[in-house]
């Protein structure tokens, strides 16, 4: 179970603790007495089976209108599973929260409904406060055999952070004890992800201006925009070019206790994944007037917690399309040929306000990639939109490089979606 206490009991306890706070203030500085000796990867391993093919009422919770699996519901389960695995590694005396989703990738789409096995373990932990948890969703193999690569529907990695429950500050956790070559490979992948995130923080547009190539692309798009509005030419904006400001979709909802995490007063990360994914899907569908195919959730962060009772605001924007509208570095006329497919990146920005709307905090940015079976392109018009476009383009290039490195480390193309045709419809 994700939560252990009925909300009404937790609420009454919180109200009582507010009254008793003066008596407890001396406990806040008391250090945690915990065993921090290194642990094996297998110590945190956990799996759960969803008998979707056997239980039609359970299946009801996982199906969309077309009879396909609702990915947003699976994302909720994966976040809940990462919490279970994290606590197996850290113990129950700390507070563990989702800090980031490093990537969710479709490996082999389901061709029929079947039982699913969700499993994972901690694969990177240095002894500081954070850990990486690698997860997969796979078809349950027949006759108790091992899961094969072809059975794997989805792989992902979550970064979890442990906090002192009293001070809410990061606290150390056990490091990992590496025993086999396979564990060393997994640990190295986690280390590469960690270093990539550190590098990413150094190259954000708040710290690094557009480079020469990006500036040339911005200028080329601006010239194209002028051309569309020039009354002296016969050039008009094509129907398959859509301005970025017209792609935005918005949602707002009050956060109810039914979606709280195990600590009772904050919304759990899986709900945010589900809400942002479904808005991103709608944004891609509205943009293209077609049914998009999910390819991946690219590295995304949870910046601030979302309290129960607050109001969550989400904004989805088509940030980038590939092939792009212009490519000043195209090497030949073949590079300009129309593609049957378009990869579209949807950026979902989230913020939370208290119910009185006196305080606002950003809660995260989520970046979803979908595949469209048509040619369509997005065009930014303002400087802010150009920066969104450049940021998304950088992310696409970074993810491509990370995927290449990961595939080389795994020794196969398992998990690749760069052929542009692998994914899953929602």
User: In this predicted model, what pLDDT tens digit does every residue of 95-110 receive, in sequence order?
Assistant: 889 999 988 989 988 8
Q: Of 77-91, 205-219, 222-236, where does mean pLDDT reach its minimum?
A: 222-236
C-alpha span between 217 and 389 (Å, rounded): 10
Task: Calculate mean pLDDT across residues 152-156.
Answer: 93
Residue 259: band (very low, low, confident or very high) from pLDDT cuts 50, 70, 90:
confident
- Note the pTM of the prediction, 2 decimals: 0.86
The number of CA neighbours under 13 Å toward the Cβ of 278 is: 15
C-alpha span between 151 and 138 (Å, rounded): 5
Sign of the Cα torsion 237, 238, 244, 250 reads positive
Write out the DSSP string of 221-264. Answer: HHHHHHHHH-TTSS----TTEEEGGGS-EEEEEE--GGGB-TTS
Task: Calculate mean pLDDT across residues 12-16.
Answer: 77
pLDDT digits (tens, 9 = 90+) for 18-52: 666 555 554 444 555 678 899 999 999 999 999 99
In 107-151, where do the E strands start and end?
A: 116-124, 130-139
Contacts of 255 (CB under 8 A, 6+ apart): 267, 306, 307, 308, 309, 310, 311, 312, 352
Residue 9: band (very low, low, confident or very high) from pLDDT cuts 50, 70, 90:
confident
Per-residue pLDDT for 281 more than 90?
A: yes
Average pLDDT, the chain: 85
Residue 381: band (very low, low, confident or very high) from pLDDT cuts 50, 70, 90:
very high
Task: Calculate mean pLDDT across residues 4-26.
Answer: 68
Rounded to the nearest 5 percent, the helix, strand and coil shares of the chain are 35, 30, 35
Kind of pairing between the strands at 116-124 and 130-139: antiparallel
């Amino acid at each position: 179970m994700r939560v252990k206490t009925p909300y009404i009991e937790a609420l009454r306890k919180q109200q009582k603790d507010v009254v008793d706070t003066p008596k407890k203030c001396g406990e806040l500085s008391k250090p945690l007495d915990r065993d921090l000796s290194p642990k094996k990867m297998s110590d945190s391993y956990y799996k759960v089976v969803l008998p979707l093919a056997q239980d039609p009422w359970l299946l009801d919770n996982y199906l969309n209108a077309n009879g396909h699996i609702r990915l947003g519901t699976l994302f909720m389960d994966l976040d809940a599973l990462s919490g279970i695995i994290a606590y197996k590694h850290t113990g129950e005396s700390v507070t563990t929260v989702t800090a980031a989703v490093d990537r969710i990738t479709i490996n082999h789409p389901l061709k029929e409904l079947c039982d699913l096995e969700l499993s994972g373990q901690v694969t990177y932990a240095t002894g500081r406060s954070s850990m990486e948890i690698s997860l997969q969703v796979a078809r349950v193999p027949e006759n108790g055999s091992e899961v094969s690569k072809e059975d794997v529907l989805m792989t992902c990695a979550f970064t979890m952070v442990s906090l002192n429950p009293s001070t809410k500050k990061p606290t150390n956790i056990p490091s990992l004890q590496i025993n086999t070559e396979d564990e060393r490979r997994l640990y190295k992948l986690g280390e590469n992800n960690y270093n990539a995130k550190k590098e990413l923080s150094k190259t954000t547009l708040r710290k690094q201006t557009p480079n020469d190539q990006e500036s040339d692309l911005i200028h080329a798009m601006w010239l194209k925009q002028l051309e569309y509005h020039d009354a002296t030419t016969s050039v008009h904006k094509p129907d398959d070019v859509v301005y970025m400001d017209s792609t935005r979709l918005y949602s707002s909802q009050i956060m109810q206790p039914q979606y709280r995490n195990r600590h009772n007063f904050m919304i759990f990360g899986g709900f945010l994944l589900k809400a942002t994914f479904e808005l991103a899907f709608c944004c891609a569908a509205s943009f293209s007037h077609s049914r998009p195919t999910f390819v991946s959730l690219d590295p995304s962060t949870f910046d601030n917690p979302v309290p129960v009772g607050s109001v969550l605001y989400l904004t989805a924007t088509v940030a980038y399309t590939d092939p792009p509208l212009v490519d000043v570095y195209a090497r030949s006329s073949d590079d300009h040929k129309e593609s049957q497919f378009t990869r579209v990146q949807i950026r979902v920005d989230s913020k939370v306000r208290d119910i009185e709307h006196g305080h606002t905090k950003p809660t995260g940015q989520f970046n979803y990639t979908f595949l469209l079976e048509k040619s369509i392109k997005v065009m930014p018009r303002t400087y802010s939109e150009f920066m969104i476009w450049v940021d998304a383009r950088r992310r696409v290039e970074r993810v491509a490089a990370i995927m290449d490195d990961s595939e080389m480390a795994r020794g196969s193309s398992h998990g690749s979606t760069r052929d542009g045709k692998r994914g899953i419809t929602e």
